[in-house]
Structure 1
Amino acid sequence: MKKHSALAGLALALVAGSAFAADLPSRKAPIIVEPPPPVFTWTGLYGGINIGYGFGNGDRDPGSLFYSPYKYAIDGVPFSVNPAGSAWSIGNDLNGVLGGGQVGYNYQFNPWLVVGVEADIQATDIHSQGNGIGGAVDGLGPHTSYATQNKSVDWFGTVRGRVGVTFPSIPNLLVYGTGGLAYGGVVHSFNVSDVYSSFLGGGSLAVLGAGTNYDQTKVGWTAGGGVEWFPLISNPLFKAFSVKLEYLYTDLGSTTLYGSSIGSIPTGGPAFFYQQTSHTRWNTVRVGVNWHFNPFAAAPVLAKY
């Protein structure tokens, strides 16, 4: 009888212990929930570098000189003559290497439309050098003008809007047009001399011109387009890099230089004034690399249960 009572008490104790253990709080490790793959977007800030080449349009720049009335005497009799002017054109085919950096911001409105703004600054070796010849015959004899022009763009920058489209099957490829403000440092120098081969039927006469220079910042416009591509969006190390190929046409307007003669050899010859107008416009093809501040990266989410 006592044996049965002891067994019953032990069973009751075991059942009560199990019930008490079931009521105790349990502790579980955090569960890491992997988020769905991030949706690719062009939205975000970026910056990068570029290098390219600038080339001109085959422009020819016009110039001319005009003589002041000239007085002389033959056998003591004074005469006055207005020598004929002359005109020329000089090739201005700007070309050279350029490179610099850019920063910008894109916003993707929907799966196919991306708009943004970009600013860049470039150092350049864009330059041209040319010569021109003009001539005329007047009462002093036949004469020929020899003109020399140098032109360069030492640096330039742009601030442009961008409008691009993507394709649902290739969301990491952007085809865009761009345009806006351009500005740059333009250097323009010019000189001309005029030579009479038979002055008043006698010896030659060279009328020398004073050189003129322009070195200032010019403001204009630029427009073009390009393609930009994220080639390695599946690579964790390089997914924020894009590469681009871009074309721009840039026009900084024109400069006009004015000058005059400074004397003649031999002395006592006529005097002239001149002007030379030169356009500053060129095409640019460049490649670049951009680093995007990874707006489409997603971090793991920690959830506790």
Structure 2
Amino acid sequence: MNKSILATAALAASAATALAADLPSLKAPPPVYVPPPVIWTGFYVGLNAGYNFSNNNTNLVTSAPLLPGAGIFTWALSANAGLPAQNNGFIGGGQAGYNWQFARNFLVGVEADIQGVAASGGSQTALTAVPFAATVFFTTYDARRNLDYLGTVRGRVGFLFTPTLLIYGTGGLAYGGIRNDLGLFQFSTIAPFGVGASSSSDTRVGWTAGGGVEWMFWPNWSAKVEYLYYDLGRVTNAFALIRVPPGIGLYAATQSADRFNGNIVRAGINYHFNWGPAPILASY
């Protein structure tokens, strides 16, 4: 009798266990990871590096005689020349700006940057020859130019192709520190004749325009690739040619005219402070 009761109880317990295994679990599912919102609005700072390709310009040297006489006239005109001028080099620095995201997937902002230019010096030597009577007049040139630093203050207008990918255009003011030096020496097959030189160092102001792509690859962090064209205008230096050895003093008025413009291709990384509110956007 007791054995029968124990067997019945064991069978009932086994059936209850099997029934409980078939019931749905009441355990809560693991929480779903929700990434933080992508916030473009706010201040940011960053670093950049790239390369500066200056345009293939010409340093124009023009000269006019200050005294009468066929020889002086020829000496002065023989100083006229066009010297190739370039400034290529690595460029790197920092930037800071502010973005404002609006109207679902549009963005406007302002950015300022400044960069140093490495190996930016361009130099050119040349020799010209002009026949006169029974001799030949020669002029040698030593032209040097440097772009020491370059900065911009620009507006930006962009479109968010996805919440994390920005395509933008940009443009505004450009400024840079330039140096421009030219020296020339005139001589003939008989004797040396004259010399002249000019030198200038200045901060030039011009304009810039370009565009780029920026990707918010991590909360608060973005990377960008950017192209800019800049133009700092034309630099003109006036000087005089002087007779060597002394005898007739100044014999020609001369000037050099050189343009500083070019192209920048660079990459950068930005840290965003995300001080703005998270955008309320429709799904993309």
Shorter-normalised TM-score: what interval?
A: 0.7 to 0.9
Using the alignment, how far apart are the partners of 1:178 and 1:140 within structure 2? Answer: 60
Q: CA deviation at 1:205?
A: 2.4
Using the alignment, how far apart are the partners of 2:63 and 2:131 within structure 1? Answer: 14
1:242 alignment partner in structure 2: 222
Q: Which deviates more, 175-184 or 188-197?
A: 188-197
Selected match of 1:166 from 160, 171, 178: 160
AA in 2 matched with 1:252: L
AA in 2 matched with 1:130: Q
2:206 alignment partner in structure 1: 220
SS state of the match for residue 158, structure 2?
Answer: strand
Contact 2:222 2:269 in 1 (8 A): yes
Selected match of 1:187 from 170, 179, 182: 179
Q: CA deviation at 1:286?
A: 1.1
Please state if 1:210 is matched with 2:191.
Answer: no
Cα deviation, 1:253-295, whole Å, max 9, x if unaligned, reads 0111111223325x54783332111001111111111000034
AA in 2 matched with 1:152: N
Using the alignment, how far apart are the partners of 1:144 and 1:66 within structure 2? Answer: 16
Using the alignment, how far apart are the partners of 1:57 and 1:294 within structure 2? Answer: 39
Unpaired runs of 5+ residues, structure 1, are 1-33, 72-79, 198-203, 233-238, 299-305
SS state of the match for residue 211, structure 1?
Answer: strand
Contact 2:61 2:257 in 1 (8 A): yes
The count of aligned residue pairs is: 242
Selected match of 2:85 from 89, 92, 96: 92
Q: Identity of paired residues, percent?
A: 37
Contact 2:60 2:81 in 1 (8 A): yes
Contact 1:207 1:269 in 2 (8 A): no
TM-score w.r.t. the length of structure 2 is: 0.77
AA in 2 matched with 1:148: D
Q: Evaluate the alpha carbon distance shift between residue 296 and residue 159 of structure 1 in structure 2; reply closer, same or farther with a 3 A threshold.
A: closer
Q: CA deviation at 1:208?
A: 3.1
Q: CA deviation at 1:36?
A: 7.2
Selected match of 2:123 from 120, 126, 129: 129
Selected match of 2:255 from 275, 278, 291: 275
Q: CA deviation at 1:35?
A: 12
Using the alignment, how far apart are the partners of 1:247 and 1:272 within structure 2? Answer: 43
Contact 1:132 1:147 in 2 (8 A): yes
Selected match of 1:49 from 47, 50, 56: 47
Contact 2:39 2:277 in 1 (8 A): no
Cα deviation, 1:5-53, whole Å, max 9, x if unaligned, reads xxxxxxxxxxxxxxxxxxxxxxxxxxxxx99765423111101111111
Using the alignment, how far apart are the partners of 2:240 and 2:202 within structure 1? Answer: 21
SS state of the match for residue 160, structure 2?
Answer: strand
Using the alignment, how far apart are the partners of 1:178 and 1:210 within structure 2? Answer: 43
Please state if 1:83 is matched with 2:73.
Answer: yes
What is the CA RMSD across the aligned residues, in angstroms? 2.5
AA in 2 matched with 1:43: T
Contact 2:41 2:274 in 1 (8 A): no
Which protein has the larger Cα radius of gyration, Structure 1 or Structure 2? Answer: 1
AA in 2 matched with 1:192: L
Q: CA deviation at 1:190?
A: 0.6
2:103 alignment partner in structure 1: 110
Q: CA deviation at 1:227?
A: 0.7
TM-score w.r.t. the length of structure 1 is: 0.72
Q: Evaluate the alpha carbon distance shift between residue 36 and residue 243 of structure 1 in structure 2; reply closer, same or farther with a 3 A threshold.
A: closer
Contact 1:38 1:296 in 2 (8 A): no
AA in 2 matched with 1:160: R
Q: CA deviation at 1:133?
A: 3.4
Contact 1:81 1:139 in 2 (8 A): no
Selected match of 1:67 from 65, 68, 75: 65
Using the alignment, how far apart are the partners of 2:237 and 2:128 within structure 1? Answer: 17
Contact 1:39 1:296 in 2 (8 A): no
Using the alignment, how far apart are the partners of 1:181 and 1:139 within structure 2? Answer: 53
Contact 1:88 1:133 in 2 (8 A): no
Contact 2:67 2:252 in 1 (8 A): no
